[in-house]
Amino acid sequence: MERLRNYERIGVPRGAGTDSGDGFDLGRMRRLLRRLGDPHAQFKAVHIAGTKGKGSSAAFLSNILREGGYKVGCYTSPHLLTIRERISLGRNGDPVSAELLRDTFHGAKGVLDQSIELENGALTHFEVFTALAFLLFSQEKVDIAIIEAGLGGARDATNVIRSSELAASVLTSIGEEHLAALGGSLESVAMAKSGIIKQGRPVIIGGPLEEKIERIIKDRASVMNSSVISACDPGIRSILKCFAREDDEPRQTCDIVVDIQKDMKLSIKLHDLKLHMLGAHQLQNAVTATCTALCLSKQGWRISDASIRAGLERTKLHGRNQFLTQKEASAFGLQEVSLLVDGAHTEASAKGLSDVIRMAHPDGPLALVVAMASDKDHLAFARQLLSGRRPDIVLLIETSIAGGKSRTISASALKIYG
């Protein structure tokens, strides 16, 4: 695997995510899967794309389906500590075991080596690992897989799921991340990501989106004869009521009420919902997952209101506005200190982080430790992060990205944005 080209490590080429001559070649992914027996045709899938909120929405929806009694596979990227985190299986959604991943890889190695040779070394690390994930889901006989797109949508390696296997598409948000790879404008980003919409299959829009961007997605859905559900529909009410710590675990109490009376009638009332996932943006992700679950229910999936509540409330993700427990903090030699870990790296995610800091830590000393990739909008990130509570100190550090430092911005270069 290490000899394969890894664009997460070296950066994505200009236009690679666009549905154009510059875009990634989906043909080689389809050929690889064909040699593996088309494992992606053996299970139903929900395909999720978007600038922000993909992983959280995938986690929410996976847990809702698990609470409904289904055998669920979930594929997301990137990972924090081990690549096994990208593939989750089982009742608790644990990362695939090292043994199972190793056995699957060795079982497919002959086909993989042959494919790499036949494709003249063009297969990428992400393409091969995505194929392994699909193979694992097929072998483990999952009822449904929640698949997060890696980059864009139209030319992403995950966009091989056919309409016959697709239960729904989800577009969480549209922002300016990876602009060069996705065509250079917000409109081109929307076009690339809406490429996951398939003929006759419903699409759920998270949002909120600019009107012109939402129109691009709805026009694509109209061409594909796909019904559209908006998580920002006027018939939806979501309220973040309060924040509190319970047994050293922070939670936010929310209401989600859905009452959509359009082509696809959806309704649910979830009062005093207690979410581990913090911030208004995570509440919106929970609404998106709820709308998707209700849409699946209309297709015959057995998903009760109780399953939706339980799935949302059990969802936790490392590195998403994650407060370490006092026990975890003490492992760093720190007592009576709140440690918040988050992977924010865009202007929008910096706002989400800033809002959570303001909500959960309104006063007292505040220190920020920041490391970033070189291809981010550092100025917009810094302005948004510092627009909330002013920190007493900011520590700038460097960290590896995908096992290397070719995309890491130095602490000294980052300092000019402070």
* Domain map (residue ranges) of the chain: 7-314, 322-417
The CATH superfamily of 322-417 is Mur ligase, C-terminal domain (3.90.190.20)
Terminal CA-CA length for the chain: 38
pLDDT value of residue 418: 62
Please work out, in degrees rounded to the nearest 5, the angle formed at the alpha carbon of residue 31 by the alpha carbons of 25 and 32: 100
Say how far apart CA 325 and CA 402 lie, in whole Å: 27
Say how far apart CA 412 and CA 418 lie, in whole Å: 11
Domain 7-314 annotated CATH 2.40.10.170 = no
Chunked into runs of 10 residues, the chain (418 residues) has average pLDDT values of: 88 94 97 98 99 97 99 97 96 96 98 97 97 99 98 98 98 94 97 98 97 98 98 97 88 98 93 97 98 98 99 95 88 87 91 91 89 91 89 91 85 80
**Under 8 Å CB-to-CB from 254, ≥6 apart: which residues?**
238, 239, 240, 241, 270, 272, 273, 274, 275, 283, 286
Say how far apart CA 157 and CA 28 lie, in whole Å: 9
Distances (CA, A) of 173 to 143, 205, 252, 348: 27, 8, 22, 10
For residue 81, count CB atoms less than 10 angstroms from its CB and return exposed for 0-12, middle for 13-18, buried for 19 or more: exposed
